[in-house]
Structure 1
Amino acid sequence: MKHGKKYVESAKNVDRTKTYEPNEAISLVKKLAVAKFDETIEAHVRTGCDGRHAEQQIRGAVVLPHGTGKSVKVLVFAKGDKYDEATAAGADFVGGEELIPKIQNDGWLDFDVVVATPDMMGVVGRLGRVLGPKGLMPNPKAGTVTMDVTKAVNDIKAGKIEYRLDKTNIIHVPIGKASFSEEQLADNFQTLMDALIKARPSSLKGTFLKSVTLTPTMGPGVKVNTLAF
């Protein structure tokens, strides 16, 4: 893969043979974000889990203390009182059955997170083929299938992120923007890592954190010392 001039210049600042302490890594990754837009800082955590075993599947959510720096559009599937509650909580879109053709046939996907009350999962289930591959399917483990729609919407708007293993047993999540202060990024990063350590499957033998890397959207990665967590 060929990288642009800015990437190549940035990469010279990273010692590839070194794993950096968290604060050092955050300071460096901020300097590597040289694009003309406010880059997202991402954490990529390679785990020792084997996602083929159900008991080693990691999935959950955590509210980052300083948010992600991105405004998130929330769609809630609800009816009756819960419809009104979701609207009052500030959900961007609220509906039920009538949204199925709009999403399925018209390809409407102008939202980032989907929340549903348990009694609406029969309806939402019909969208599995569309929402599933995009990681948008509501899930009780992530707190997006719930009767407490007010809390769900508030948490998401406050900076709640979902984490899950991909096919290669890596977790990819944003921890903020390059414009955040080092302290804000450090708080968010530590909150994420604490949640992941807690989520370690009890059946896992051997090393849990194989590697942790921080990267800006357009820049090179910085390896973080896994023993710091």
Structure 2
Amino acid sequence: MKKGKRYAEAAKLVDRTKLYDVQEAVSVVKQAANAKFDETIEAHLRLGVDGRQADQQIRGAVVLPHGTGKKVRVLVFAKDAKAEEAKAAGAEFVGAEELIPKIQKENWFDFDVVVATPDMMGIVGRLGRDLGPKGLMPNPKAGTVTMDVTKAIEDIKAGKIEYRLDKNNIIHVPVGKASFTEEQLADNFQTLIDAIIKAKPSAAKGQYFKNVTITSTMGPGVKIDTGKFA
């Protein structure tokens, strides 16, 4: 795929042979984010695990101290008092069975995160083929299957992100926007790294962080020196 002139200019800022420390990497990525919109800054972490093995899967969630810079729309599956609680906590959409045909037949996906109370998982399970491939299925490990819907919504609105291995054992997550300060991005990134270290499976052997890169939506990747990570 041919890269544009803007990308070529941004790429000149990056030394491909170098492993950057976090602060330096963040600075370069911010300089390279020169699109006409506020680019998302993303982290891509290739880990030395085999996600096909049940005891080496990595999945969880972490609240970034400075948020993601994105307005997140929350859908909550709940009934009665819990539905009222979800509305009061700021959920954009709250419902139950009536949402199934809307999602399945009308292809309605005007939400970014789905939360469900445990008693609603029988209903939500029927949406597995619709929500699963989009990474929207509620999960207890990510804190999105819970009776404490207020806390779940507050955390999500505050900048909670989910992380999980893809089939290539890579985690892809946003850590902020190009408009953030370098300190905010570095803080968010370090919070993510700390969470991934904490989530390290005991079955993982050898080098845990194989390759860590941060990049902006339209910019080149900057490789980070993982030697300082635990």
Task: Write the distance in 2 (CA, Å) between the matches of 1:177 and 1:54.
Answer: 34
SS in 2 for 1:172: strand
Aligned to 1:59: 59
State the SS of the aligned residue for 2:134: coil
**Deviation, structure 1 residue 169:** 0.2
**1:127-157 C-alpha deviation (Å, 9 max, x unpaired):** 0000000000000000000000000000000
Residue type at the aligned position of 2:106: D
Q: What's 2:50 paired with?
A: 50
Give the Cα–Cα distance (whole angstroms) in 1 for the partners of residues 227 and 89 of structure 2: 40
Distance in 2, matches of 1:2 and 1:226, equals 30
Mapped pair 1:13 → 2:13: yes
Counterpart CA distance in 2 for 1:209 and 1:199 is 12
Tell me the equivalent position of 2:110. Answer: 110
Task: Give the Cα separation in 2 of the matches to 1:142 and 1:6.
Answer: 37
The number of aligned residues is 229
Query: How far 1:209 sits from its partner (Å)?
Result: 0.2
Cross-structure match for 1:129: 129
- Corresponding position of 2:198: 198
C-alpha distance in structure 2 between counterparts of 1:150 and 1:94, whole Å? 13
CA distance in 1, matches of 2:226, 2:83: 44
Within 1, Cα distance between the matches of 2:111 and 2:80? 22
The amino acid of 1:129's aligned partner reads: R
Give 1:228 shift.
Answer: 2.1
| Equivalent residues in 2 for 1:33-182, closer than 5 Å | 33-182=33-182
Give the deviation of 1:108 after TM superposition. Answer: 0.4
**TM-score normalised over the length of structure 1:** 0.99
**How far does residue 13 in structure 1 lie from its aligned partner after superposition?**
1.1
Between the aligned partners of 2:106 and 2:14, the Cα distance in structure 1 is: 45
Residue in structure 2 matched with residue 215 of structure 1 by the alignment: 215
Paired residues of 1:115 and 1:144 also in contact (CA < 8 A): yes
TM-score (norm 2): 0.99
Measure the CA separation in 1 of the matches of 2:111 and 2:101.
16
Deviation string, structure 1 residues 48-81 (Cα, Å, up to 9, x no partner): 1101101111000000000000000000000011
Shift in Å, 1:227: 1.1
List gaps (5 residues or longer) in structure 2. Answer: none
Deviation at 1:23, TM superposition (A): 0.3
**Structure 2 CA distance for aligned equivalents of residues 40 and 158 of structure 1:** 17
**Residue 32, structure 1, aligned to residue 32, structure 2:** yes
Q: CA RMSD in A?
A: 0.5
Deviation digits for residues 165-197 of structure 1 (CA, Å, limit 9, x no counterpart): 001000000000000000100110000000000
Percentage of pairs with the same residue: 76
Distance 1:227 1:71 in 2: 34
Secondary structure of the 1:127 match is helix
**Structure-1 separation of matches of 2:71 and 2:30:** 21
CA distance in 1, matches of 2:75, 2:127: 13
Specify the SS of the correspondent of 2:122.
helix
Aligned mates of 1:164, 1:147 — CA distance in 2:
23
Mapped partners of 2:181, 2:24: distance in 1: 13
1 CA distance for matches of 2:215 and 2:92?
Answer: 30
CA contact (8 A) 1:22 1:228 kept: no
Q: Distance in 2 between matches of 1:184 and 1:72?
A: 19
Would you identify which runs of 4 or more consecutive aligned residues in structure 1 move more than 4 Å?
none
SS of residue in 2 equivalent to 1:102: helix
**What is the SS of the residue equivalent to 1:132?**
helix
Q: Any idea what SS the aligned residue of 2:75 has?
A: strand
